């Protein structure tokens, strides 16, 4: 971990920006490559940098170009991760930021160490989200989906072991691979599968794999 994490900060509030800079430079192995007061300025500065930042902390409400537009453009044209950092948490804003491709969404009152952790999370492919905001994203997600009442494997009288084997089958494993996975003999796997076929009223691996996927047993 000798390499510093390179970041940029975009925020129109000079005082907050200054405070962020201090907190981040002081605490972690962070290198701030640039700062900007709004999206437009950030887009202008990016091409002039010797190296691109790995993460950009982005405010939403800004003059000239807001953080959501900037996020959309940056994520489309580069691999830079965007971490939204804002005081706003209205449904619409959260939603727009996610659509724009933000990798995380924190409230500005988050503690400095929380922000640091978040930056690291983002680099590891995670998406740190403040609980309050996460609650809204879940609401959104729920509202966009319908119920799904698929039958469970048990409804076909599949035993636990059979279910387990079916799942491996559904991954495309051969009998021998499953046998190795479960430390049982090749023949036993075949016998289980035979029983599964009977219970599911099918008679081939392809059908089993297809059915398992369709019913979302994988």
Cβ proximity to a second copy, 21 vs 73, nearer residue:
73
208 interacts with a second copy by CB under 8 A: yes
Query: Least separation, in Å, of the C-beta of 215 and DNA?
Result: 18
Question: Contacting a second copy (CB under 8 A), which of 24, 80, 98, 196?
Answer: 98
Count Cβ atoms within 10 A of the Cβ of residue 38 and give its class: 0-12 exposed, 13-18 middle, 19 or more buried. Answer: buried
Select from 33, 29, 28, 23 the least CA-distant residue to 109.
23
Cβ proximity to a second copy, 49 vs 218, nearer residue:
218
Contact 186, 179 (CB under 8 A): yes
Q: Which does 148 bind (CB under 5 to 8 A by kind): a second copy, DNA, none?
A: a second copy
176 interacts with a second copy by CB under 8 A: no
Q: How far apart are CA 48 and CA 168, in angstroms?
A: 51
Cβ proximity to a second copy, 52 vs 65, nearer residue:
65
Residues of the shown chain interacting with DNA in the complex, contacts defined by CB under 7 A: 157, 159-162, 174-176, 182, 184-188, 190-194, 197, 203-206
Select from 98, 61, 53 the least CA-distant residue to 79.
53
**Site stretch for a second copy (CB under 8 A), options 2-10, 18-26, 51-59, 117-125:** 117-125
Write down how long the chain is. 218
Cβ proximity to a second copy, 54 vs 66, nearer residue:
66
Question: Which residues form the interface with a second copy (CB under 8 A)?
Answer: 63, 66, 90, 92, 95-96, 98-99, 101-104, 118, 121-122, 124-132, 134-135, 137-138, 140-142, 144-148, 152, 160, 169-174, 202, 204-211, 213-214, 216, 218
């Amino acid at each position: 971990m000798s390499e510093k994490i390179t970041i940029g900060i975009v925020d129109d509030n000079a005082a907050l920006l200054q405070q962020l800079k201090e907190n981040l430079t002081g605490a972690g192995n962070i290198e701030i490559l640039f700062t900007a007061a709004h999206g437009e300025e950030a887009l202008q500065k990016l091409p002039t940098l010797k190296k691109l930042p790995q993460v950009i902390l982005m405010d939403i409400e800004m003059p000239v170009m807001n953080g959501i537009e900037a996020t959309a453009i940056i994520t489309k044209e580069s691999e830079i991760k965007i971490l939204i950092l804002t005081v706003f948490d209205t449904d619409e804003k959260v939603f727009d930021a996610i659509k724009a491709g933000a990798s995380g969404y924190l409230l500005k009152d988050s503690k400095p160490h929380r922000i640091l952790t978040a930056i690291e999370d983002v680099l590891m492919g995670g998406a740190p989200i403040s609980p309050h905001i996460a609650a809204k994203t879940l609401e959104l997600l729920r509202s966009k989906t319908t119920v799904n009442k698929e039958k469970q494997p048990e409804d076909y009288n599949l035993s636990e072991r059979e279910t387990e084997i079916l799942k491996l089958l559904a991954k495309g494993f051969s009998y021998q691979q499953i046998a190795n996975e479960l430390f049982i003999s090749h023949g036993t796997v075949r016998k289980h599968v035979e029983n599964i076929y009977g219970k599911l009223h099918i008679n081939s691996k392809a059908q089993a794999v297809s059915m398992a996927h369709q019913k979302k047993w994988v």
